[in-house]
Amino acid sequence: MKLYGYWRSTSSYRLRLALALKGVVPDQVPVHLVRDGGEHRGEAYRRINPQGRVPSLALADGRVLIQSPAIIEYLEEVYPEPPLLPADPVARAQVRAVAAIIGCDIHPLHNVGPLNHLRRDLGRPEEEVGAWIGRWISEGFTAIEALIGDEGYCFGAGPGLADVYLVPQVYAARRFAVPLEPFPRITRASSLAEAHPAFQAAHPSRQPDAE
């Protein structure tokens, strides 16, 4: 298996976490999102992923999966142990809701492409871009703070899908200097997860392309 990703991309980070929790170790192929206007935009990478985004996962037979939520579901189906989702359908929907707040409602608003558009095309100053990022992360985190449990990981004693999404989003919040004090549950759950060996192995600073 080959994982095409970028060390500090939150979508790549969440996929690395799911792989690490499942004990699957792919070969890593770094795709630089910044250098030379972004390697992900080039023809060579678009032949692998027509959307020109990371991550992508090439299977042993050469077929390529894209979009981290779809790839993580694939992993959950093919490597069911340890499960990332609880058995109960209602609990599964609750975990998926936290993942969706991050994957659908927070992350797309501070992704490389939209931020480049704000800065370069719309000429917004850095101060406004920072306020934009902070607004959407804080709004999403306010909802998540009300949805997750008040002890342990996001939902209980072991790490699961919600933690796989939350930890990279907390990493991004710190990177963008978004205050985390209003979110004690998020801070507790992410700190606990960060100490787990799989989460340590998947951390951006531990990746071969880390700068």
Ligand X SMILES: N[C@@H](CCC(=O)N[C@@H](CS)C(=O)NCC(=O)O)C(=O)O
Which residues here bind ligand X, judged by CB under 6 A? 9-11, 33, 40, 53-55, 67-69, 103, 111-113
In the complex, the smallest distance separating the C-beta of residue 6 from ligand X, rounded to whole angstroms, is 6
Nearest to 169 by CA among 104, 91, 82, 119: 104
DSSP, collapsed to helix, strand or coil, labels residue 142 as helix
Cβ distance to ligand X smaller for residue 12 or 190: 12
Pairing of strands 64-66, 27-30: unpaired
Distance CA 145, CA 187 (A): 9
Tell me which H or E stretch contains 56.
Answer: strand 56-58
Pairing of strands 56-58, 64-66: antiparallel
In the complex, the smallest distance separating the C-beta of residue 18 from ligand X, rounded to whole angstroms, is 11
Q: Which residue's entry shows tokens 């759950």?
A: 189
Cβ distance to ligand X smaller for residue 65 or 85: 65
In the complex, the smallest distance separating the C-beta of residue 40 from ligand X, rounded to whole angstroms, is 5
Cβ distance to ligand X smaller for residue 41 or 92: 41
Q: How far, CA to CA in Å, does 135 sit from each of 1, 69, 177?
A: 37, 24, 12
71 touches 57 (CB < 8 A): yes
Name the closest residue to ligand X (Cβ): 113
Cβ distance to ligand X smaller for residue 24 or 192: 24
In the complex, the smallest distance separating the C-beta of residue 168 from ligand X, rounded to whole angstroms, is 9
In the complex, the smallest distance separating the C-beta of residue 165 from ligand X, rounded to whole angstroms, is 9
Cβ distance to ligand X smaller for residue 54 or 198: 54
Nearest to 60 by CA among 30, 25, 31, 84: 25
